[in-house]
Amino acid sequence: MRIGHGYDVHRLKEGRKLILGGVSIPFSMGLDGVSDADVLIHAIIDALLGAAALPDIGSLFPPSDPAYRDIDSTVLLRRAADELEELGYGITNIDCTVIAERPRLSPYILSIRENLSSVLNIPMEDISVKATTTEGLGFEGEGLGISAHAVAIIHAVNK
Ligand code: MG
């Protein structure tokens, strides 16, 4: 078994859709970035790649490449999972935390877990998603951005 960690931050901006874990969340602002800026999926991708000691998300999917402009991050997540499969790894479980002062994410956690489960083709019970605020402190607390942490355990699959 191997463990990996991922962390990502995106800035909140008006005129963008807020997408977390591939789920569109109603809010007055969205995350800014080259792709759909799904900070949660980006953290998960880096946790998975890190567990396999593969190059990070920016190396695998360079933001300078026009192919990734506005791309749905679930596509990137699936590709990262495919990379792991090619190396003979399966995903044991994933745990992640989204840090956002607003909006309140608890109503969307189940949908996010269901979505990640279908993209990764692993049971929902093996995917934990949590959300917290920082009590108004720091950039997340001031509503300037949203961050996400993820850890993933992967295992060698016997073929
Ligand atoms: Mg990112």
pLDDT (0 to 100) of residue 158: 77
pLDDT (0 to 100) of residue 159: 65
Ligand 1 center to residue 13 CA distance, Å?
14
Ligand 1 center to residue 158 CA distance, Å?
32
pTM of the model: 0.97
Q: How many other CB atoms sit within 10 Å of the CB of residue 54?
A: 18
Beta-bridge partner residues of 20: 23
Residues with CB under 5 Å of ion ligand 1 are 8, 42
Ligand 1 center to residue 135 CA distance, Å?
23
Counting as low any pLDDT under 70, the low residues of the chain are 159
Ligand 1 center to residue 51 CA distance, Å?
18
In terms of C-beta density within 10 A (0-12 exposed, 13-18 middle, 19 or more buried), how is residue 133 classed? middle
Q: How are beta strands 127-132 and 89-99 bridged, if at all?
A: parallel
pLDDT (0 to 100) of residue 90: 98
* Digit-coded pLDDT (tens) for 83-103: 999 999 999 999 999 999 999
